[in-house]
Structure 1
């Protein structure tokens, strides 16, 4: 949305932003301070970069999720569970959706599922049409239909696509990745739609 609705333009690098808050936060990143990390020798250009470095690299208060078996600490609950399963043989947790009985390995995925599939939460609305979406990522992909923006380009043939997944599928052509095989004649195809077309025209069946 910052790309398509640039109300505030950075005079240093030219990037645009929807809100003044996002713009102000970005401008601070251009500040030329020299801030040294108190735990190592690295130097950073602003306080935000220094703060992010300390959270990610040094323990501090960031790694609060402690393993129940050893003293290892982690950034979040999911990392802790993976550690306990792999290193200590703990049982993978299983959370059950009370509506459809689907199982999830952590509370975050279960909550996301309930909001998206059962509560039908759609907070992200397209400004160009009436469509609404659960996530900002899905909205961003949708916006390409209105703008015609094709930012994902193939390095080999220079074809450009609006979606990263479409480019990934296209790259299988160059790799000759024929993962979709016909069970009747053995002919293989790069894309599933090509296999469907083959099944209809050659064998008179649908996939």
Structure 2
């Protein structure tokens, strides 16, 4: 069965993520590991049957890519075919063994004991079971000897390596008290109720809700919150806790926030493991990894970059995978607005950026401000701070066209665009070209007479920012210097009050 043929299998339509089995970044053609099951079997059953995974290893955000699903499904059907063929083979072979047994032996054994009903239990033949048991009492064998034909068994070659079964690590469970479970249900019910979607019945606890859905409707229980299904209480609890405290699940090394505990653990394993644990080192770059699979995925990215198989046609930027190229095209060139803010009508492509933007409306600007621990500058959000910190880690860059030195790559890109780039913006009135949209906008104001800027200290208006700043420094020097000192103090964190 190829992917997409079965009508009961549904794809995840979420953002890009990694496949649970091959750990490669995949696109929207992926199946949810927990939520996807058909009338024949579930994905979790196949993964636990043929791999070392356990049911507790699976989470709501785990997905399976199309390639892995096709291979897993093909192997499962191959396994069923082989098992069925050998089952019929064993049944036919054992049936032939029973036919060569002398009928007189069976009759003599019944006459010697005088109780045929007790001896019938010694000959057991299961209709569908390929294993046939034949038990003969020792006194019956003394009257007539016979040989039962045996099946030939081919021994395995000693030179072949024997498969070593991996020992599973024991999982330690911490038993929660009744009070702890009640407190968790109370936290969850502050956001969503345990309401059955079939009969609209409300349950007081998650356990009673699961029991009701299973006993009454014969289905698997789940709670819908923020448009997502939650089948496990721990995942639902972490979700509602993250809604109350957005920074609850935070990395203690780099202070990056995540939506659940699993995201924090995965982030720390990939980004903050000590070097002595990262024994797999890339020969082409300084990166090191703790697992061979992570290094293999990384090396595939190098091959993709060398062959330029994932290269953007518009900006000619190369990426280590097709998934990252698709994301780049959508964000930088297409920029679809899948999420619209209901407060300011601003559009977003990423759900994460959209939710982060919504928090900015809920919190005050002073509460969102963060400070750089390197240069002590203050920024209005953590996004701007992270972008600023990346510049600290970058060395100065020299322009290959004019020798100009910029402090980082972003500044160099801006320099090349403004100094050496082509003027692609054209004025529709006079045909003059510009490199920046703000320059074209200020130029158009000279044609239309619109006032784009106004002085803070008088009623005079201007159509360019340069004229406005020149006017304030020349005509209002004292007020301008006072305003400049206030702005610098706010940026340095010396003034906490909002302007």
Superposition TM-score, scaled by structure 1 size: 0.46
Larger Rg over CA atoms = 2
The answer to which structure has the higher helix fraction is: 2
